[in-house]
Amino acid sequence: MKLGCIGDDFTGSSDLANTLANGGMRVTQYTGVPTGPADSGVEAGVVALKSRSIDPAEAVAKSLEALKWLQAQGCTQFFFKYCSTFDSTAEGNIGPVADALADALGAHKVIVCPAFPGTGRSVYQGHLFVNDMLLSESGMQNHPLTPMTDPDLRRCMAAQSTYSVGHVAAGDVFEGAGAVAAALDAQHKAGHRHIVLDAIRDADLRVIGEAARDLPLITGGSGVALGLPANFGCTAGKVAWTGQSGKAVALSGSCSNATRAQVARHGKGNPVREIVAADVIEGRLHASDMASWLLAQEGLPLAYSSADPAVVRAVQDTYGRERSADALEGFFADVARLCRDGGATRIITAGGETSGAVIEGLSLDTLEIGPEIDPGVPALRTGPDLVVALKSGNFGADDFFDKADRVLADQ
C-alpha cells in the first residue's frame, strides 16, 4: 500500500476513494480499522471512521489507531479527509486530529484544503465558498451538529489547533507546483504548521497535489487528492463495475438544502414516506413498520427524516440533540438491516450521519469502489448480493436518487 487515508465519516471516505480510483489507483475502503493485513494489490487504503462529531479525544485516538495500521501496510504518505464544508466546531475535530497526525508523523507544512470545485466548494483568500456564497451563508450555518458560521478557514483552524495557521494565496497556486512549494516553505519558516491553500479550479488542486509529492501529511476534502495518483505513477482509467438486480430502497436523514430538494423531486414520481422524529423518539414508529412499507412498494421508495432546520431545532430543543440524533441513527440502522434481510439488494442513503449508521447497522467492513454517480458519490459493492450509495448531504443533482439506482443496477 502506498497512500494511507483516514476519513472522518463514511460518505466522505467513499468520496475520497472515488477520486483516487478515478485517478487510476487500486483502492479499498475499510469501515473502521481492520484487524488484519490489507490485500497486497491495494495501492490506496481508505479507513473510514465515524469520528466527525464525537468527543475530540476519542476522534484523535481512533485516527491514531488508523494511522498505525496504515503505517504497518507500508504507506509512505497519509491523507486526513474531512468534509468539503469543513464540518466541525471550535473544539474540533479537524484541528485536534490534524495536530495528532502531524505530531505522530513529524509533519510540517501540513496542507489544509477542503476545496472541491466539482461540487461548488472553493477556497479564495482563505475563505470557503459554496458556489457563489460564503460558507456561513450557504445553509451550513443551520447544520444540526456542526453549524458553520465562519467562512475564514484560518480562523476556524486556529480555534481548534494548538499550532499556528498560515495561508498560500491563489496567485501562488496559479503559478504552478514550484511556486506552491516555495510558498509552503515560506509559511513554514514564518512559524506556521497548518497552511490553508486557495483553490478554485480542478487545475489548482492538481498543482497542489504535485507540490505535495514529498509531504508526509495532507488534509482536506477529496478534491485535493485529484493530483495524488499521478505522484505514484498512476493514470486515470475506467472503474470496473457489475450492476446488481433486485429490490432497491432509499433512506435520507440529511437536512441540507440539496437533499431536501432531491427528496421533493423524488416524491413527484415515486413512493415517499416521512419519518417524524418525535414518533421515533417516543416509540410510535418502529423500524419494522418502515422496513415493511419500503419492501412492499414498487419502484424506488424513499423514507426520509430530512426536514427544515427550524423543525430540527424544535426537536432538539424538546428532546436534546444527542437523544434525537441517537434515536434517528439507530432507527435508520435497524431499517437498513431489516430491508437487507427482507431481500433489498440496493440501498441508497443521503446524509453523512445516516450513511454511517446504515453502514454500522449492516456490519459492512470492506467496500469495493465502483463508478461515479455524481461528483463525490461512487457506487459501492459490499458483497455478492448488496450494493450501496452513500451521499453526503449537500452532494448530488436534483434527480440523485433515480440516477443512483440506475448506476447501482448498471442500467
Query: pTM (2 decimals)?
Result: 0.84
The distance from CA 249 to its chain's CA centroid, rounded to whole angstroms, is 21
C-alpha gyration radius of the chain = 20
Are 5 and 78 in contact, with CB atoms under 8 Å apart? yes
Q: Structural domain boundaries of the chain? A: 3-231, 247-409
**Contacts with 97 (C-beta within 8 Å, 6 or more apart), sequence order:** 6, 8, 51, 56, 59, 60, 63, 80
Q: Tell me how far apart the alpha carbons of residues 127 and 105 are, in angstroms, rounded to a whole number.
A: 28
Specify whether the CB–CB gap between 94 and 56 falls below 8 A: no
Give CA–CA dist 88/146, Å, rounded. 5
- Topology of domain 247-409, per CATH? Molybdenum Cofactor Biosythetic Enzyme; Chain A (3.40.980)
User: pLDDT tens digits for the chain (411 residues)?
Assistant: 999 999 999 988 999 999 999 999 999 999 999 999 999 999 999 999 999 989 999 999 999 999 999 999 999 999 999 999 999 998 999 999 999 999 999 999 999 999 999 889 999 999 999 999 999 999 889 888 888 999 999 999 999 999 999 999 999 999 999 999 999 999 999 999 999 999 999 999 999 999 999 999 999 999 999 999 999 999 887 788 999 999 999 999 988 889 999 999 999 999 999 999 999 999 999 999 999 999 999 999 999 998 888 888 899 999 998 899 899 999 999 999 999 999 999 999 999 889 989 999 999 999 989 999 998 899 999 999 999 999 988 889 999 999 999 999 986
Question: Helices (DSSP H) in 121-217: which residue ranges?
Answer: 153-160, 170-174, 177-189, 202-211
User: Grid coordinates in use for 369?
Assistant: 469502489
The region that residue 55 occupies, defined by phi over 0 for left and psi between -120 and 50 for alpha, beta otherwise, is beta
Tell me the CB-side half-sphere exposure of residue 168, using CA atoms within 13 A. Answer: 35
The contacts of residue 324 (CB under 8 Å, 6+ apart) are: 277, 281, 315, 316
CATH 3.30.70.1380 fits 3-231, yes or no: no
The C-alpha cell 460558507 sits at 135
Record the cell numbers describing residue 276, joined without a space: 417524524
